[in-house]
Amino acid sequence: MDNKDLADLLIRNKAIEFGDFTLSSGQKSDYYVDMKTFMTDPDMLSLITLRIIKRLSYATCGCEFDVVAGVAVGGIPLAVALSMVIRKPYAIIRTGGKKMHGKKDVVIGDVKYKNVLLVEDVTTSGRSAFYGVDELRKKGAFINNVVTVVDRESGAEELLSDNGIALYSLIKMSDINRNV
């Protein structure tokens, strides 16, 4: 499956919709990327997981990792699915800050002194991915790579790169727009 096939699949399954949308940042956009709903279909989640594995095998990053992690909500199904296929543990990064009950952990899973790969469903500015990286590093993880399904090309790659983190995407929004 090439980028055109992936773009067609995302549009056909309404993971990418065109119209007038307000993003969580408050910004206006003429398209919306809804990978969360798309990934509730086990076939689509499997397909994306296999694409991530393929992307990592072609990456020249030396993306060796012990644990795969995802930021709530969109990164979690990816982390779990990838973990099950490659048989490596996963970690969850909560959003909304530290819990005030239980163990009060923001990161769930053993990441201390481990190489971690962060997976995201969509990157826009990169703030969510960077939040995940920061929380993982606070727990003693080593992390230099993030994989995203769709990069909206709105600053994520630059923010992460400025902080020593490589961003690998399955598809960029410019590839999707080119194939519409």
pLDDT band at 147 (very low <50, low <70, confident <90, very high): very high
Separation in Å, CA 65 to CA 58, 61, 113, 115: 15, 11, 11, 5
- Select from 88, 76, 83, 13 the least CA-distant residue to 43: 13
> Cα separation of 44 and 53, whole Å?
14
pLDDT, one tens digit per residue, over 36-61 is 999 999 999 999 999 999 888 866 56
With pLDDT > 90 as the criterion, what percentage of the chain qualifies? Answer: 72
Whether domain 41-178 has CATH 3.40.1380.10: the reply is: no
- Residue 3: phi and psi, rounded to 5, are -60, -35
The residues with which 111 forms a beta bridge, in sequence order, are: none
Separation in Å, CA 126 to CA 130, 147, 151, 167: 6, 12, 9, 9
Domain ranges within the chain, ordered by starting residue: 41-178
Choice among 3-12, 19-28, 111-120, 135-144 with the minimum mean pLDDT? 19-28
Question: What's the pTM value of the predicted model, to 2 decimals?
Answer: 0.92
> Cα separation of 67 and 91, whole Å?
7
Choice among 4-8, 93-97, 104-108, 132-136 with the minimum mean pLDDT? 93-97
